[in-house]
């Protein structure tokens, strides 16, 4: 029966000792231990959070960089393309203008030639006319006494003239 009956002395000491133990542990053990545990957990959580943030920032930076890179490449491509276009257009323009110039020069030359020809012909005609006049003068001076002869000379002269004209034409 003693086994299941609480003894007075032990009950008294148990209340005293356990009460004291509870007080001392609560004040000097659980308070610092639990607060230190909480603090450490918080600091770990914060560290994890900030690491996560840093990673996010990093990935954002990376994607930013990539976008920038892409943009730069696009710009470069565009500039290259523009340059190529410009080169092409310059070349074609030069070609065209050269062609035009050539054509114009040829035309001018042709005109000049035909002009010079006309001038030459006119001069020739004048010279021929003056030559024929002088010849005619001499002939007339020599042969105007004889009327029959006069007749043949004139006829020859006229014939010659016609032949010359045909040859020139």
Partner 1 sequence: MLTMPKNKGLSIFIKPQILLFFIFFALFTPAFLLANEPDHTKNNDIKATEATHAKTSEAFNPGKMILEHVKDAHDWHILDYNGHAVSVPLPVILYDNGLHVFMSSKFEHGHATVESKGNFYKLHDGHVYKTDAAGEIAVDAKGKATNATPIDLSITKNVLALLVGAVIILLIFFSVAKAYRKRGNAAPKGLQSLVEPLIVFLRDEVIKPSAGKHYAKFLPLLLSIFFFIFINNLLGLIPIFPFGANLTGNIAVTMILAIIVFFVVNFSGNKSYWKHIFMPDVPKAMWILLIPIEILGVVLKPFVLMLRLFANITAGHIIILGFFSLIFIFGQKNMFVGYGTSIISVAFTLFMSMLELLVAFLQAYVFTLLTSLYIGSATEEHHHAEDHH
Q: Nearest distance from residue 61's CB to partner 1, in Å? A: 30
12 vs 69, beta carbon nearer partner 1:
12
Take residue 78 and report the two structure tokens written for it: 């565009």
38 vs 63, beta carbon nearer partner 1:
38
Q: Nearest distance from residue 54's CB to partner 1, in Å? A: 20
Residues that bind partner 1 (CB under 8 A): 2-15, 17-18, 20-22, 24-26, 28-34, 36-37, 39-40, 43
Cα angle, residue 38 at apex, residues 37 and 40 outer, rounded to 5°: 65
3-state secondary structure at position 21: helix
Take residue 165 and report the two structure tokens written for it: 């004209």
Instruction: Read off the DSSP letter of residue 5.
Output: S
44 vs 58, beta carbon nearer partner 1:
44
Q: Nearest distance from residue 65's CB to partner 1, in Å? A: 35
d(CA 138, CA 129): 14
């Amino acid at each position: 029966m003693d086994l299941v009956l609480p003894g007075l002395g032990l009950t008294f000491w148990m209340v005293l000792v356990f009460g004291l133990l509870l007080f001392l542990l609560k004040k000097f053990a659980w308070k610092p231990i639990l607060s230190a545990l909480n603090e450490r957990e918080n600091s770990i959580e914060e560290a994890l959070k900030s690491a996560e943030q840093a990673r996010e920032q990093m990935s954002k930076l990376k994607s930013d960089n990539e976008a920038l890179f892409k943009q730069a490449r696009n710009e470069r491509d565009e500039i290259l393309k523009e340059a190529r276009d410009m080169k092409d257009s310059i070349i074609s323009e030069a070609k065209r203008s050269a062609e035009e110039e050539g054509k114009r020069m040829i035309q001018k030359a042709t005109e000049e030639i035909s002009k010079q020809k006309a001038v030459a012909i006119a001069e020739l005609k004048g010279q021929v006319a003056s030559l024929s006049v002088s010849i005619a003068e001499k002939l007339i001076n020599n042969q105007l006494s004889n009327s029959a002869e006069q007749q043949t000379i004139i006829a020859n002269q006229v014939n010659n003239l016609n032949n010359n004209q045909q040859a020139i034409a």
